[in-house]
Structure 1
Amino acid sequence: MALSDTAIKNAKPGAKPIKLSDEKGMFLLIAPAGGKWWRLKYRIGGKEKLLSLGTYPEVSLKAARDRRDDARKLLADGVDPSENRKAVKSAKTDRAANSFEVIAREWYAKKLPGWAASNADKIIRRLENDAFPWLGGMPIAEITPPDLLKSLRRIEERGAVESAHRMRYYFSQIFRYAIATGRAERDVASDLRGALSTAETQHRAAITDPKAIGALLRAMDDYQGAFVTKCALRLAPLVFVRPGELRKADWIEIDLDKAEWNIPAERMKMREPHLVPLSAQAVAILKELHALTGAGRYVFPGARTNGRPMSDNAILAALRRMGFAKDEMSGHGFRAMARTILDEVLQVRPDFIEHQLAHAVRDPNGRAYNRTAHLAERRKMMQQWSDYLDKLKTGAEVIPLNAAA
């Protein structure tokens, strides 16, 4: 006889397991402890097997029969329902293991050692905010170009066109990693070339007119703020390193006797060690500052504690206090200033300038030049540059850029 809900509810456990039979091989197994499990007995390939259909009352009598009927349909097609269940579970596990987020985080971990910490933080934040919420759980092999484009459009719609282009680049890199690891067949992000709005190139503000540079240098000499900040301002144009490299300068990196600053690879954007020859003017500033901060780690410690470098906003804030607007001068602007004047006015060889800017300069065999390449010439260039800035500061006659060109 077929089971009924009343019979199931009234069934009591015994000293041994009890079977209450239903139809077509299904039965309810009642354990001595009171648990009730649905089971289906079937035969396939000449062997008798059991399939679990769930527990009562979580799985009702009707739901258990539906599961039984689904299993019997598989049997009719020659499919073992137990093996089918294992295959479905495995497929779900594989889908999760091959999801976009899992693979993207693998790619990120592989690339992390070659990135500066600030850049790595930006990349993972962009993925977590703009990609994972919508794409993270999708198997990467099933993601289509329209799926990616929807995420990129969300970034575009908030006005961050350049960020959308960067994200498309990250998508492409992640898909190429998935291809290399056998979890995708093609880079669908490549299909989106031309699909995004054109990003306007935004150059960091920089003063490059010689007369205006002189005015800036005089303003920095007259700066009335903290002495550490003033020294950072005065040193910035002389060494023209990136703002993060300057503010995190460590006294152990600086050899005042040799007039050298050796920045380790982990603090450089290109992950290559960088050597900065120090002019006599730069050494003088550092010697004066050493009396104040030399007992600590950082050349430019923070205002509140010596255990941290100065704020990444300190130099920008100082420039604003001196009256230089956001679209007039930036912390990165000292690099553009040096590159422009060294090339167009002082006629220094461009490769010397590129080396000193720590750009990716390659030798004829495609290898990155080491940090001491053209060191003698760069020492001369750095002193020439500092001397030229002194002339600008004192208002000496200068050659206009257009005349030099």
Structure 2
Amino acid sequence: MGKLTVKFVEGVKATDKKAAYGDGEALELHVEPSVRKGCTKKWIARFRWEGKANNKTLGAFPDTSLAEARQLNAAFRAHLDQGLHPALFVPPQMARKAKAQKRNPDTPAPPDSPQHWTVKQYVEKWLKSDPNWSKNTIKTKSDRAQKYIVKPYGHMKLRDITHAVIEDCIRLLTESEKHAQAKKVAGVWKQLYEYAELHDKSLPNVAQNLGRYRKKRVKAKHHATLVEPAAIGDFVVRLEDYKPKYKGTKALPYTIHGLWLVLYTMKRPHEVCEGKWTEIDFEQKLWRKDAENTKTGLENDECPLSEQALKVLTELHKITGDFEYMFPGGAGNLHIVPETLRKLILEGLGYSVGELTTHGLRGMFSTTGNELGYNFEAVEKQLSHNIGNEVSQAYNHAKYLRMRRQVVQKYADWLHVQANKARKRKKQVSSEHDSTEQVDCIAV
């Protein structure tokens, strides 16, 4: 039995500072003052990961009761005992505690009923609905909702909003070339209606099928890449020396493996992020991707794997081999997204936005491969670019695969040759710097 009681949890009040009350098994109730609610109560599981102390939020009281918090804590401990990353733990869906009150459909709803709430009221309540949202997250969502939803439609009842109204809201943004903002605003409408459905079961969800207003054909753009062998060698050195910095439960230690696979296989970042273990054939040294999951979609893509790529996959399999996706995402996401790899290049490896992108690694292979005299058709096929018509592609499939095996292995070997040269240059510069300092000391 835990140390806390239901009576204590219900009655405890917030003081001037945040307070923590232990229940045993590293489960704590954190109580802190809140301007909006007077105080907030969160269930926190303490644990250690890679030698560092960390916390995991399991829910907030009263939405999550004391008994439910203990069950979640036990499930989380079992998750950690299996050696699984804490970010991959998703609390099981708790049974809904309160049943909707049955009313006579002929009886009009009370004035303060959710059926009479305006768009503004729903937005205000929705922004307070998730205790795990940070202040920055709430501010970002609030600013977007206020500008594009509350300001023009806040006075209307949510029940009076039609699909056509939301279409106009999204269309105004797309016509102004604000396609990224249109996508995010559509997401706000969708989340708002998902929240509203919890309070008003009879509310029709008119925020569906908005995707077509977000799509826009854009011109092909050039992705920042590296072309000089010295710069490429330095990039490989940074990859080899990178140590994952675990911060809370958001950092996934295997993201670095994703960059290695983009580098070794030249696959598009989203194809790597969405890769499944069933696609990997270790015996044949192939990565088989279904046609429907590739950009071209003309044929099933068989990507040959170099020895270096196989080594990365073998290491990765020890970490995520029990999952469907090779790179499972945290917080309930099926897999990581390309943005995760991009942030690693910028924040983890120290490159600037205009210096290198994840997609630019494919351009790096294309440029280098042509300069080193690799077979042009093999390079293009490895990049999943179509050559000739469908008949010629099918006829030459085996030929391309043999050439591609040679190309990917040569390229992987060449990358590490450049890395060794980069290390020697770095060591030489360091030695010259030390010698200069010694001479300066003698002169003094």
TM range (shorter): 0.3 to 0.5
TM-score (norm 1): 0.48
Which of the two has higher C-alpha Rg? Answer: 1
TM-score (norm 2): 0.44
